[in-house]
A = this chain, B = another copy of it.
Amino acid sequence: MTDVAILYFSGYGHTVKQAEALEVGASSIQGTKVDVLRIDENGDLPDVGWDKLKDAKAIVFGSPTYMGGPAWQLKRVADASSKPWFSQEWKNKIAGGFTTSITTNGDKASTISYFVTLAMQHSMVWAGTAVMPANAKANGPDDAGWTGGMTGALAIAPSDASPEEGAAKGDMETARLYGARIAEMAMKLN
């Protein structure tokens, strides 16, 4: 039985870090079973993945932001979700989203906005991060909420940073807090 499913794609490993932090957060809520479903390079998701999505109480969508939106591999799975959409299998599940991109702002908001639209087609219920922005002069990448944007979890990984270097402490903490929130919401609503 899956409670929280983290459905994501990662091209170079940076988004993996965010997914891991979300997993830690969701797993920290007692009694929550988390399943991490990584979409492969061809945009495929095995049947067992679809079964887990059907069972989950919450689905969190994740992808790097490539050329201003989610990677095509993620979109391929989203397009294939027209089947569960048709019978509204995901109705009333909690939804959330996360994205990593190399530029400070970049177009992360475009990716998250797409996830909201997708979730609404599935009649899911969207929960944002609830992590308040850390936006004083003294704040920096080590602080949760420094990257900001409360609709989903955002992370900045510079273009020449390895996944380890790119994973800013604050972004990872935001993802962890978000994972916990999603798990709590999934319990409350179901």
Contact = CB atoms under 8 A, between A and B. Distances in A.
Contacts of A120: 68, 126, 128, 150-151
Contacts of A135: 102-104, 106, 158-159
Identical chains bound together, number: 4
Contact of A69 (B71, B75, B105, B147): B75
Interface string A46-79: 0000000000000000000011111111011011
B158 A139 contact: yes
Interface residues of A, number: 62
Contact of A189 (B66, B121, B189): B189
Given A68-B114, A114-B110, A135-B158, A147 B105 contact: yes
A142 B73 CA distance: 35
Contact of A107 (B81, B117, B147): B117
